[in-house]
Amino acid sequence: MKRKYQVLIMIAIIFSGGFAAGIYYTKNTSGLQSIKQPAPASQSDKLPVPKKVPEFSKIPEKVLMSYVQDYRDPASIDYSNLSHVIFSFAHPEKDGSISFIGETARSNLQRVVSNAHKQDVKAFLAVGGWFHINGRKSYDYFKQAIAEDSSRNRLVTELSGLVKKENLDGIDIDFEHPRSKEDARFLAVFINHLSKVLHANGKELSVAVHAKVHSVTGTESGYVVYEPDMFRKVDYVNIMAYDGQWDGGYNAANLSPYSFTENIANYWGNLFDSEGISKNKLVLGVPLYAQPEDPAVKPVSYQAVINNNPEYAAKDSISMNGISYYYNGSATMKKKTILALNHGFGGMMIWEAGHDAKGPYSLTGTIAEVLQNTAEPVKYYSVIHTK
């Protein structure tokens, strides 16, 4: 029993000592604890430095542009895969005025613009082309219109007026073709003036250019002359990478084979690199027509080729009614689109919408599919008006 009381007394002493030690430790370490405690945020006299939002470089998106001739029924055009439709053509007169081929052409322009805008497609008006309204070549008319200050100023005024009146998104200049340094200088002055007026009003400007490469020799063609600095003033440079059949004597097979287009892409890519101009302005043109071996026979549309036999979509040359025809089939169109993308070009251009086949055989659809399967979609593009 005595031993039991002794154990209880010992437990009480140990408990009392531990309690007293705890009180002593708390009193003597309270200051240390207050130092270690972080100050509440509301009591801090320093605000956190805001972090910068990361700057991402804007990736230029690709365009798919198509010309449409003025006699086409605007309702027959499939706008769904396009970023731009270019109505062709308005005709420059020597005094700088503008002519259309009758009221039907003007009415078709208005319908094309309306239909395009309903599908979020931009509508341009092309000026020039190979033939003039009077049946002759347009070269002499265009050359005279841009050679004099008065006629050049009038042409700019008339075009800017048409843009406003017809609710256009831009103008395409198709001077075929400047053949001298003087021509090139006049064209550059005209482009510079028109560019300032259009860009000041939030509109765009494109220029159609000759391929500048001989389809047979692969060398630069000196027949057409441009001032490279001019290309800084435009949003798009539409390369007409076709019609090589006329180089070195008529040969339909040289219309626009892939090897010819490779040389063209290399030429324009190197030129823009050397001039420090963005290659995103370059738009690679492709033909939607078939060229006959016999120059006395008229070309036919790609639609006519497919209507004859849908299996021709996989080919680049065929024989119809005993005549050989050369064109670009679906596989070549895919290769050319990839070629343009690999060169850093801004997209693709088609001559012209009315030549295309319908439905699953549409070459416009083929090109659009390649563009859409890249990281950059066809529509909702943006272009910077500088280099």
Residue in 359, 357, 352 with CA at minimum distance from that of residue 87 = 352
Tell me the per-residue pLDDT of 239-249, one tens digit each, with 9 for 90 and over: 999 999 999 89
- Confidence class for position 109, pLDDT limits 50, 70, 90: very high
User: What local confidence, expressed as pLDDT, does residue 298 receive?
Assistant: 97
Helices H / strands E in the chain, number of each: 9, 13
Check whether the bond before 275 is cis (ω within 30° of 0).
no
What does the DSSP assignment read for 74-101?
GGG---TT-SEEEEEEEEE-TTS-EE-S
User: What local confidence, expressed as pLDDT, does residue 113 receive?
Assistant: 98
Greater pLDDT, 353 or 379: 353
User: What local confidence, expressed as pLDDT, does residue 60 receive?
Assistant: 65
Greater pLDDT, 94 or 37: 94
The tokens of 112 are what? 């094309």
Count of beta carbons in the 10 Å neighbourhood of residue 222: 9
- Per-residue pLDDT for 308 more than 90? yes
Average pLDDT over residues 50-79: 78
- Per-residue pLDDT for 24 more than 80? no
The tokens of 196 are what? 């300032």
Average pLDDT over residues 140-153: 98
- Per-residue pLDDT for 55 more than 50? no
Q: CA-CA distance, 186 to 230, in Å (whole number)?
A: 11
Tell me the per-residue pLDDT of 335-356, one tens digit each, with 9 for 90 and over: 999 999 999 999 999 999 999 9
- Per-residue pLDDT for 19 more than 60? no
- Per-residue pLDDT for 193 more than 90? yes
Average pLDDT over residues 138-165: 98
Instruction: Write b or e for each residue in 256-269: b if 16 or more Cβ atoms lie within 10 A of its Cβ, otherwise e.
Output: bbeebbbbbbebbb
- Per-residue pLDDT for 254 more than 50? yes
Q: CA-CA distance, 59 to 69, in Å (whole number)?
A: 32
Sheet holding 323-326, edge to edge: 300-301, 289-292, 323-326, 317-320
The beta strand positions in the chain, using DSSP E, are: 63-69, 84-92, 98-99, 122-128, 170-174, 204-210, 236-240, 282-287, 289-292, 300-301, 317-320, 323-326, 347-351
For residue 302, the SS3 value is: helix
Instruction: State percent of the chain over pLDDT 90.
Output: 79
- Per-residue pLDDT for 31 more than 70? no
User: What local confidence, expressed as pLDDT, does residue 52 receive?
Assistant: 45
Q: CA-CA distance, 236 to 232, in Å (whole number)?
A: 10
Residue in 69, 209, 188 with CA at minimum distance from that of residue 131 = 69
pTM of the model: 0.83
Instruction: State percent of the chain over pLDDT 70.
Output: 81
Residue in 235, 225, 227 with CA at minimum distance from that of residue 172 = 235
Average pLDDT over residues 276-298: 98
Pairing of strands 236-240, 282-287: parallel
Indicate the length of the chain as a whole number. 387
Give the helix ranges, DSSP H, for 166-309.
181-200, 258-275, 302-308
CA 212 centroid distance within chain: 20
Domains of the chain in start order, with CATH, are: 63-288+328-372 (3.20.20.80)
- Per-residue pLDDT for 1 more than 50? no
- Per-residue pLDDT for 59 more than 70? no
Report which DSSP code applies to 292.
Answer: E
- Per-residue pLDDT for 33 more than 50? no
Pairing of strands 63-69, 282-287: unpaired
Average pLDDT over residues 360-367: 98
- Per-residue pLDDT for 144 more than 80? yes
